[in-house]
Amino acid sequence: MAERNFTPSLVNKKRRGTSLFSALFRKKGNDNGFYTAVSHDGKTTLWWIEANQLGRTSCYPCVIYQNGEEHAFVSGHSAKERKSNRELIAKWTEAVSPETIDELYTVTELEAEAFFDQFNSAEDRQLKRIYLGGEEKKDEE
């Protein structure tokens, strides 16, 4: 069974039929939405893309910062990367839904470039956690 790396739309803005592929790999906004949201208690921050898939707008979770921990989507296909993405989706669905987004969070729409400046760094850190067992430590001399 194919893994679902998306959830129902949080913003629910009708989007034209542009693809998520364009957003992730061509780094062009097209008609995709790039969002961040901060919980009212300040403990959770979300980053996601909303894009059209098969005629329906879906939410593609990218990063969740929760209780001082970061978890980001990674675009690989290894067993470790798929497991990491499943964990992200599980954390995401516990933290937010279309019914709770407006009640629990303040949402901001971003330009694609600003979004990817942050997301690409988070994805790199997630890959280090997956394959190196954590953040690289800087030598202090």
CB 96 within 8 A of CB 9: no
pLDDT tens per residue, range 15-54 = 555 555 555 555 554 678 999 999 999 999 999 999 887 7
Q: Strand, helix or coil at 6? A: coil
Residue 137 reports pLDDT greater than 50: no
Mean pLDDT value across residues 4-17: 76
Residue 62 reports pLDDT greater than 70: yes
Whole-number average pLDDT of the chain: 85
Residue 88 reports pLDDT greater than 60: yes
**What pLDDT was estimated at residue 115?**
96
Task: Give this prediction's pTM.
Answer: 0.82
Residue 107, judged by CB atoms within 10 A of its CB (0-12, 13-18, 19+), counts as middle
